[in-house]
Amino acid sequence: MNRFFIISTVILALAVAGCSTDKDSLQSNQDSDQGENSQEDQSNEDKNKGEEKVINLEVQETHWMFNDNIMRDAWTYNGTLPGEEIRVQEGDTVILNVKNALDVPTALHLHGFPVPNEMDGVPGVTQNAIMPGEEFTYEYQANIPGTYWYHSHQDSATQVGNGLYGVFIVEPTDQESYDLDETLVIDEISSMEMMNMSEMGHGEMDMDDIDHGNMDDMDHGEMNTDDISHNELMNKMYDTMIINGKASPQIEFIQVEEGNRVKLRFLNAGLFTQVVSIPGHSFKITHYDGQPVNEPDILNDTAFRIAPAERFEVEMQMDNPGAWGIQVFAEENQDKLNVLIPIIYHGFEGEELYTVDEASVFFDFTAYGESQALTIGDVTKEFDMILGTNDGGETFTINDKQFPNHEIYEVEEGDVVKYTIVNETEVDHPMHLHGEFFYVISKDGIPIQGSPVLKDTINVKPGEAYEILVAATNPGNWLFHCHELHHAGGGMVAEIQYKGFTPLFTPESEVSNQPE
Ligand SMILES: [Cu+2]
């Protein structure tokens, strides 16, 4: 642990944020009071009968201040970025009314939660896109606790990139109590004028449309050459980390008291694999993608990687007073994409942040927690999922096929399906399955040694191979795609189809459905 000399802007942030300390702590007291009350209410009720929670979301264009210097036209749910955190209790019925006030079609996908197929929000696969001015109502039974998120699944690289995402939490009826339960949504933006990267072929990039003033560190000539890979372009484009929609120095700090028991829910809503280091405290990783880890061990001086769309829940005891900075950086683009999330003990406001000098040990989910036998049954079907690329990194494939001429895996209800996922490219692919969780059972041929790993997104690094098992219990047509959304846009999308399943909707030809 070394002292980290922070830039003056962070101190400024603390000074600014410090003004609202009283209000913040009052707010958090109110929140925890409400939490206790609703928990008592809940325990007095029949645990299977929840309430009906109605949430109205308007998809709209919003001027959003990322900090005092960066303002952009973002696309938001109800005018905030991220959209409001939706917290419901296990057993609730959730009704989400989505109204589209944009001038392009949209749709809402509830990521990770096993919804009925017609509620999955994938245009052209499970519904027609919600046209401008129209509404669509999603209804879910919140019967599986966890940390999930909602986001657009229409032209995702553009729409999620513009800000259409938010966190969705289902609290279990036996929710443990924490002094603080904070959600930290990691994302990155380009501080340049907004551009539509998914439509930006390398040869088409029109430099006249870009605010040159913000591009001082770019080699303009290089941008038009063909030898720049998608990855290099990404690293040039994205230069600013945001946490809960705010860039430094306006990132809201987490205020704690000595003795607090704290839960942090990390979500990566962006496009880069991020490294997270928590300084000065031991911690446990209690959930992957919202699902519990069996008997998690205590970790010290250990960084964990969180890939696009993944969630990690961390539990820690606040026993080391000070002003700390949780370090988050993109491994592939560390110079530009790095940030400290201040976590400050009462009485240490305005002090310099201590953080981790360098990540030394990396978390390994294949050998974490206690092993437990799976009761999923014997494998009935096996498929390969080979992740590839061609055209110099312009297109991305699964089994050499590119969406919409994509790989279709046919399964039957009751199948236990094994997929072997192999990454033959040189970049990460966080692969996300809709509709069902999967168990990761091996990495590079070596079985998982620790807790069962139940996830909805698995990051497959270059050269890696994973085996996963899916119990086919939720009939429908489900996408299985890369969550680096430009890769999905470039074709890295497969689909699982249940034999005999017929979607409840008819694709309308005049509707512009763009599921990838
Ligand atoms: Cu990918």
Q: Which pLDDT score, from 0 to 100, does residue 479 have?
A: 98
For residues 54 and 136, membership in a common domain is answered with yes
| pLDDT (tens digit per residue) in 21-56 | 333 333 333 333 333 344 444 444 445 578 999 999
**pLDDT greater than 80 at residue 100:** yes
Establish if 13 belongs to a structural domain: no
Residues 6+ apart with CB under 8 A from 219: none
| pLDDT (tens digit per residue) in 337-385 | 999 999 999 999 989 999 988 777 999 999 999 999 999 999 999 999 9
197 alpha carbon to ligand 1 midpoint, in Å?
15
Q: Which pLDDT score, from 0 to 100, does residue 6 have?
A: 35
For residues 355 and 385, membership in a common domain is answered with no
Establish if 234 belongs to a structural domain: no
Q: Which pLDDT score, from 0 to 100, does residue 205 have?
A: 38
For residues 355 and 411, membership in a common domain is answered with no
308 alpha carbon to ligand 1 midpoint, in Å?
10
**pLDDT greater than 80 at residue 198:** no
450 alpha carbon to ligand 1 midpoint, in Å?
27
469 alpha carbon to ligand 1 midpoint, in Å?
20
For residues 167 and 262, membership in a common domain is answered with no
Of 335, 363, 391, which marks where a domain is finished?
Answer: 363
273 alpha carbon to ligand 1 midpoint, in Å?
11
For residues 274 and 386, membership in a common domain is answered with no
342 alpha carbon to ligand 1 midpoint, in Å?
31
Q: How far is CA 201 from its chain centroid? A: 26
When pLDDT is averaged across residues 81-91 and rounded to a whole number, the result is: 97
For residues 98 and 147, membership in a common domain is answered with yes
| pLDDT (tens digit per residue) in 373-427 | 999 999 999 999 999 998 777 899 999 999 999 999 999 999 999 999 999 999 9
388 alpha carbon to ligand 1 midpoint, in Å?
9
Other C-beta atoms lying within 10 Å of the C-beta of residue 422:
15
64 alpha carbon to ligand 1 midpoint, in Å?
28
Establish if 12 belongs to a structural domain: no
For strands 254-256 and 338-345, give the pairing.
parallel
410 alpha carbon to ligand 1 midpoint, in Å?
22
364 alpha carbon to ligand 1 midpoint, in Å?
21
310 alpha carbon to ligand 1 midpoint, in Å?
14
User: How many helices (H) and strands (E) are present in the chain, helices listed first?
Assistant: 6, 32
Number of domains in the chain: 3
Q: Which pLDDT score, from 0 to 100, does residue 454 have?
A: 98
For residues 435 and 351, membership in a common domain is answered with no
389 alpha carbon to ligand 1 midpoint, in Å?
9
| pLDDT (tens digit per residue) in 271-314 | 999 999 999 999 999 999 999 999 999 999 999 999 999 999 99
d(CA 107, CA 130): 6
Phi, psi of 300 (to 5 degrees): -130, 140
427 alpha carbon to ligand 1 midpoint, in Å?
7
347 alpha carbon to ligand 1 midpoint, in Å?
44
| Whether the Cβ atoms of residue 218 and residue 236 lie closer than 8 Å to each other | yes
497 alpha carbon to ligand 1 midpoint, in Å?
22
The ipTM assigned to this model is: 0.85
d(CA 83, CA 70): 19
Tokens of 240: 């600013």
233 alpha carbon to ligand 1 midpoint, in Å?
15
25 alpha carbon to ligand 1 midpoint, in Å?
41
Residue 389, helix vs strand vs coil: strand
397 alpha carbon to ligand 1 midpoint, in Å?
9
Establish if 335 belongs to a structural domain: yes
How does DSSP classify residue 223?
A: H
Q: Which pLDDT score, from 0 to 100, does residue 2 have?
A: 36
Q: Name the residue with tokens 């031991």.
A: 282
For residues 143 and 258, membership in a common domain is answered with no
| pLDDT (tens digit per residue) in 246-263 | 999 999 999 999 999 999
| Whether the Cβ atoms of residue 377 and residue 414 lie closer than 8 Å to each other | no
Establish if 232 belongs to a structural domain: no
Q: Which pLDDT score, from 0 to 100, does residue 229 have?
A: 74
* CATH at 424: 2.60.40.420
Q: Which pLDDT score, from 0 to 100, does residue 226 have?
A: 52
488 alpha carbon to ligand 1 midpoint, in Å?
7
Establish if 146 belongs to a structural domain: yes
13 alpha carbon to ligand 1 midpoint, in Å?
35
482 alpha carbon to ligand 1 midpoint, in Å?
5
CA distances from 158 to 127, 155, 490 (A): 19, 6, 13
For residues 336 and 440, membership in a common domain is answered with no
d(CA 182, CA 185): 10
Q: Which pLDDT score, from 0 to 100, does residue 225 have?
A: 39
Establish if 39 belongs to a structural domain: no
**pLDDT greater than 80 at residue 221:** no
Residues 6+ apart with CB under 8 A from 89: 38, 42, 50, 51, 142, 170, 171, 173
For residues 332 and 398, membership in a common domain is answered with no
494 alpha carbon to ligand 1 midpoint, in Å?
12
446 alpha carbon to ligand 1 midpoint, in Å?
23
451 alpha carbon to ligand 1 midpoint, in Å?
26
159 alpha carbon to ligand 1 midpoint, in Å?
17
Structural domain for 415, as ranges: 381-498
66 alpha carbon to ligand 1 midpoint, in Å?
27
466 alpha carbon to ligand 1 midpoint, in Å?
15
Q: Which pLDDT score, from 0 to 100, does residue 37 have?
A: 41
383 alpha carbon to ligand 1 midpoint, in Å?
19
108 alpha carbon to ligand 1 midpoint, in Å?
21
| pLDDT (tens digit per residue) in 155-184 | 999 999 999 999 999 999 988 899 999 999
d(CA 356, CA 183): 21
| pLDDT (tens digit per residue) in 459-504 | 999 999 999 999 999 999 999 999 999 999 999 999 999 999 999 8
202 alpha carbon to ligand 1 midpoint, in Å?
18
Establish if 398 belongs to a structural domain: yes
* Mean residue pLDDT across the chain: 86
For residues 399 and 345, membership in a common domain is answered with no
384 alpha carbon to ligand 1 midpoint, in Å?
16
For strands 165-171 and 146-152, give the pairing.
antiparallel
493 alpha carbon to ligand 1 midpoint, in Å?
9
For residues 55 and 132, membership in a common domain is answered with yes
